[in-house]
Amino acid sequence: MNEQVTHVEPDLLSFGVRLDSARDAAQLRWLMAHASARDIRLAAARLCTRRAPSPQQVIAALGLERRGRRRNEPVPLALAQARARMRQQGWRDAP
């Protein structure tokens, strides 16, 4: 379950994008670095029906691709082994 957003910067709320978690806020910050505020607001207004759109919907509408690996892509063997070693050593959040 996503953690609830307890404190959101006021400027993030002005984009018309739904922020349900800290991850959504991070994605909106990423989007702000890659698109203009005007484009974000226009895309959010176009997508808005009953609820404000999520940051992922706005990213897709603008034709941008988020950084990072997609969940269905395999993890490289060296990274999987490093994570396993870190977990064995007691680290919860391995790299």
Domain ranges, ordered by start, for the chain: 10-68
φ/ψ (deg, to 5) at 26:
-65, -40
Q: Which residue has the higher pLDDT, 26 or 70?
A: 26
* Threshold 0.75, pTM exceeds: no
pLDDT tens track for 1-37: 344 455 556 688 888 898 888 888 888 988 998 889 8
- Measured from the Cβ of residue 83, the count of other Cβ atoms closer than 10 Å reads 15
SS3 assignment for the chain: CCCCCCCCCHHHHCCCCCCCCHHHHHHHHHHHHHCCHHHHHHHHHHHCCCCCCCHHHHHHHCCCCCCCCCCCCCCCHHHHHHHHHHHHCCCCCCC
